């Protein structure tokens, strides 16, 4: 059987009891390592699980899944996913490939950023569509996410923005010369996300969210050093020092924010007076 095992959000102890039992009896264990990361090293996982782990990067999962699924009709294979296997990043393609080969599949769920973000004090049923923000380059500034943010804004719902990570990304210049050399890992911060959001706002001219719009920066959600910082988008552009190391996410507040949500989130505000002023002017009673 192929097991898709969620690892949770933080460290080696977040795995469920059911998931740990599967990992310890599986013939092979793979760790999907390109859509997100845990806050501990592979060696820590191997020590805690008592098993060697094969790191499955994007190339392996997308181009060499046959190796992962090899002989899974006869032995147990565990495919470990940070968060939940069907949370922020789905692995339906892996399941479909297994089905084609007649391999049974079982999923072991766990916490993901989609549920963990509730620790910021916002009610999960007040969230709309989740979007992703990628690193802009000089000649590539994708803005397809904006329409979904605008739709959420129009009906008053919060928007969770998942921030880009670059792990084992090839250096394009070297790739063109036939040399496969990878760039150092990069993790988008809330500050970068807020600045890019305001850049797209200026280009679009639709004013779904401006510099004075309220948002929450989240760091290392579910971990021991979990941190939330609330403020305007302009304030969050310079909040990276307050948030600390990756991984980061960001939430744009919807106009239907409940009074209880406001009261909870206010404690995270960079400037409480400014937060209250904007809340009363733009959000209260909406």
* Cβ-based neighbours of 54, under 8 Å, separated by 6 or more: 28, 29, 30, 31
Angstrom distance (rounded) from CA 52 to CA 162? 30
Instruction: Establish whether 76 is an annotated binding residue.
Output: no
63 CA to centre of own chain: 23
Q: β-strands 227-232, 214-219: how paired?
A: antiparallel
Instruction: Establish whether 175 is an annotated binding residue.
Output: no
Instruction: Establish whether 113 is an annotated binding residue.
Output: yes
Report the half-sphere exposure of 108 (CA within 13 A, side-chain side).
24
Using a 10 angstrom Cβ sphere, with 0-12 exposed, 13-18 middle and 19 or more buried, the burial of residue 71 is exposed
Angstrom distance (rounded) from CA 251 to CA 216? 5
Instruction: Establish whether 87 is an annotated binding residue.
Output: yes
Which tokens is 195 given? Answer: 């600045």
Listed residue (187, 190, 204) closest to 143, CA to CA:
204
Within 60-123, strands assigned E span 77-81, 105-108
Angstrom distance (rounded) from CA 220 to CA 59? 26
Q: Are 153 and 253 in contact (CB under 8 A)?
A: no
Angstrom distance (rounded) from CA 137 to CA 265? 33
Angstrom distance (rounded) from CA 29 to CA 76? 9
Instruction: Establish whether 165 is an annotated binding residue.
Output: no
Angstrom distance (rounded) from CA 207 to CA 181? 41
Instruction: Establish whether 10 is an annotated binding residue.
Output: no
Instruction: Establish whether 81 is an annotated binding residue.
Output: no
Instruction: Establish whether 47 is an annotated binding residue.
Output: no
* Residue positions forming the annotated binding site: 9, 84, 87, 112-113, 163, 221, 248
* Residue positions forming the annotated binding site for S-adenosyl-L-methionine: 9, 84, 87, 112-113, 163, 221, 248
């Amino acid at each position: 059987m192929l097991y898709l095992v969620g690892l949770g959000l933080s460290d080696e102890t977040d795995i469920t009891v059911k998931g740990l039992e599967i990992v310890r009896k599986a013939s092979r264990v793979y760790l999907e390592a390109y859509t997100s990361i845990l806050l501990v090293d592979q060696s820590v996982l191997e020590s805690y699980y008592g098993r060697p782990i094969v790191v499955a990067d994007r190339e392996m999962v997308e181009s060499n899944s046959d190796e992962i699924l090899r002989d899974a009709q006869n032995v147990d294979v565990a495919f470990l996913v940070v968060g939940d296997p069907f949370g922020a990043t789905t692995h339906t393609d892996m399941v479909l490939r297994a089905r084609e080969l007649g391999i049974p599949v079982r999923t072991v769920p766990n916490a993901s950023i989609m549920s963990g973000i509730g620790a910021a004090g916002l009610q999960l049923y007040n969230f709309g569509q989740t979007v992703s923000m990628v690193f802009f380059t000089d000649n590539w500034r994708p803005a397809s996410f904006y329409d979904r943010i605008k739709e959420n804004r129009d009906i008053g719902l919060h928007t969770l923005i998942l921030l880009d990570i670059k792990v084992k990304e090839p250096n394009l210049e070297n790739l063109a010369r036939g040399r496969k050399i990878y760039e150092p890992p990069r993790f988008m911060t809330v500050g970068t996300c807020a600045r890019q959001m305001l850049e797209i706002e200026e280009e679009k001219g639709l004013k779904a969210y401006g510099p004075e719009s309220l948002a929450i920066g989240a760091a290392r959600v579910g971990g021991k050093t979990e941190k939330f910082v609330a403020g305007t988008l302009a304030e969050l552009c310079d909040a990276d020092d307050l948030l600390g190391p990756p991984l980061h996410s960001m939430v744009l507040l919807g106009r239907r924010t409940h009074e209880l949500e406001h009261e909870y989130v206010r404690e995270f505000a960079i400037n409480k007076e400014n937060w209250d002023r904007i809340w009363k002017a733009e959000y209260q009673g909406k």
